[in-house]
Amino acid sequence: MNGLRLIGDIGGTNARFAIAENGTYRELQHLEVDRYPSLHDALSDYLKGLPGGERANLSGALAIAGPVLGDKISMTNKAWSFSVAELKQRLNLVSLTVVNDFAANARAIPHIAPSDLLAIGEGATGVQGNIGVIGPGTGLGVSTLIPSGTDWVLVAGEGGHATLAAANEEEEAIIHKLRKRWNHVSAERVLSGAGLVNLYEALCAIDGVEPLMLTPADVTKRAMDKSDEACVKAFASFCEFLGSVAGDLALTVGALGGVYIAGGILLRFKEAFVASNFRQRFEAKGRFASMLAKIPTYLILEESPALIGLANMRIG
């Protein structure tokens, strides 16, 4: 982990590239992925802007929003695909490791300063145990971190595509509306940027109101200034669904060490998120409510936790 390392967190909307050394990173640059036809082009553009000495003898570690199951990788919410071996060769890297983006987010948790965490509700702090990480952004990322002696074991997955469950009649009605568009309604269909719009449109349909053509930013703006009741309800529903899904994650992986929330959406609306029913829904697990009440939940305030994870990840 002491050598120079090219690191990148590549999502469906934005990519963040940096140079890591000794567990920290510098030379951070944000790029819009739609500006580039391929990941190679985006990385090449970033590398061209570095001093010559920074480009030599680099290893690489990339976090990708999608499953990493072999050499050929395709992103879930962006039409980019590539071969790891070919990308390594074309960029002249010493080595290249590619992981799921939320595996990198999870690996960052032991290295995030307490000042970069916002506790949501109560919970027993300082407890050692499995950690769950979840985050709505362009998609919905989910991962798990398991303590193993003095180190950690990462468990990457695609939990954002698990089937969405309803906790009440209104959520049943929302899912019923969404099922008219998709045979499988996953958690990501509501817990993402596009998911906010899906919630807004479903709630309009339930109330018999013609929806406007809104972007995710439009929905959150109207929700925050309370100028559109359907948008207010959509954001509230978003937080409640997230609470239920985060609670399911805590139960599934035994996340006694806490559940950490990443992703770019909620960072902009911290106060509204704290005031929402997220924590109430997180704990609403029937006979296991008392167990969930002891598990802390945190919003990660660090903008690029995946880069911290990549900077501290052992790679070959």
87-118, pLDDT tens digit by residue?
999 999 999 999 988 889 999 999 999 999 99
* Residue-averaged pLDDT of the chain: 92
Instruction: Write a three-state SS string for 24-52.
Output: EEEEEEEEEHHHCCCHHHHHHHHHHCCCH
| CB of 59 closer than 8 Å to CB of 20 | no
Cα 90 from Cα 50, distance rounded (Å): 17
Q: Which of 100, 70, 75, 67 is nearest to 85 (CA)?
A: 70
Residue 1: per-residue pLDDT: 45
| CATH entry 3.30.420.40 includes domain 5-106+305-311 | yes
Residue 13: per-residue pLDDT: 82
Q: Which residues contact 163 (CB under 8 A, 6 or more apart)?
A: 184, 185, 186, 187
Look up the pTM and report it. Answer: 0.89
Residue 79: per-residue pLDDT: 84
20 pLDDT more than 60: yes
Computed over its alpha carbons, how large is the radius of gyration of the chain?
Answer: 20
Cα 236 from Cα 272, distance rounded (Å): 9
| CB of 96 closer than 8 Å to CB of 131 | no
| CB of 102 closer than 8 Å to CB of 133 | yes
Q: Which of 305, 302, 316 is nearest to 145 (CA)?
A: 305
| CB of 2 closer than 8 Å to CB of 52 | no
CA distances from 14 to 10, 31, 87, 206, 264 (A): 6, 6, 19, 33, 10
Structural tokens at position 235: 């954001």
Report the alpha-carbon angle 224-120-276, nearest 5: 35
Q: What is the mean pLDDT of residues 286-305?
A: 94
CA distances from 208 to 173, 198, 226, 229, 284 (A): 13, 15, 20, 13, 30
pLDDT tens string 223-261: 999 999 999 999 999 999 999 999 999 999 999 999 999
Q: Which of 41, 15, 58, 27 is nearest to 315 (CA)?
A: 58
Cα 230 from Cα 202, distance rounded (Å): 9
pLDDT tens string 39-86: 999 999 999 988 765 666 789 999 998 888 899 998 877 889 999 999
User: Across the chain, which distance is largest between two alpha carbons, in Å?
Assistant: 62
Q: Of residues 313 and 8, which shows the higher confidence score?
A: 8
Residue 275: per-residue pLDDT: 96
The mean-pLDDT minimum among 123-127, 205-209, 214-218 falls in 123-127
| CB of 29 closer than 8 Å to CB of 46 | yes
The residue extents of the domains of the chain are 5-106+305-311
Cα 159 from Cα 186, distance rounded (Å): 9
Residue 167: per-residue pLDDT: 96
